[in-house]
A = this chain, B = another copy of it.
Amino acid sequence: MKSPSQPRDRGIPEATVARLPLYLRALHGMAERGVATVSSEDLAVAAGVNSAKLRKDLSHLGSYGTRGVGYEVEYLVYQISRELGLTQDWAVAIVGVGNLGRALANYGGFASRGFRVAALLDADPEVVGDTIAGLNVEHIDELEAVIKRRGVSIVVLATPAEAAQEVCDRVIAVGVTSILNFAPVVLSVPDSVDVRKVDLSIELQILAFHEQRKAGGPLMAVDSQ
């Protein structure tokens, strides 16, 4: 029971927060393989980042390493988990149980880290009542009631684009402040609400841009003029 320094910096840089899950994943792998301690260099390689960056990231949580040795894997797993809020579990609702919503509902990796799919909702009477991954699909009219009853704090939007803003407004109205949006629309929300979007189509377009540069790169100058 040592008492390590705990500078517990309020305000961890956003870029750091985005990498913590990566470190956590690498650390879990190491823990499984029985690794007890790890150096910033090794962990950095496993997570695919630069070791100085990794050390700076971790330094924002506190001074959890031992100079000359490295970081204790179990301990670091715990500290990062706590920082990310993974020591509690989070009830997630998936709204829109189509192609994508179904895949998400069936996905096991969800539950693994404190995220529990607590509700599935859809507007289509054909789908409502179905059981998917052990969960009953409920009607979108029940949205507010279900969110309150199950203590849902994170909503995953997998509806068509046209329905996304409306559902978004409704869940915010009942107090949800964290939304993961798969619909290809810019949601408009108050500042107090966090929206993260996953947009497959944008990712492909970015790849296409670079692919084009690689392929026709230098001779692209064949201008149509």
Contacts and interface: CB of A to CB of B under 8 A. Distances in A.
A47 B185 CA distance: 9
Contacts of A186: 22, 26, 46-48
Interface in A1-32: 3, 6, 17-18, 20-22, 24-26
Contact of A154 (B110, B112, B211): B211
A184 B25 contact: yes
Nearest to A155: B207
Nearest to A223: B6
A207 B184 contact: no
Interface stretch (A33-41, A140-148, A195-203): A195-203
A203 B212 CA distance: 29
Interface residues of A, number: 64
B208 A84 contact: yes
Contact of A206 (B17, B109, B204, B215): B17
A204 B178 CA distance: 9
Q: Most B CB atoms within 10 A — which of A179, A192, A202, A209?
A: A209
A3 B106 CA distance: 54
Contacts of A88: 212
Interface of A: 3, 6, 17-18, 20-22, 24-26, 46-48, 83-86, 88, 90, 92, 99-100, 102-104, 106-107, 109-110, 112-115, 153-154, 177-180, 184, 186, 188, 192, 194, 196, 198-212, 214-215, 223, 225
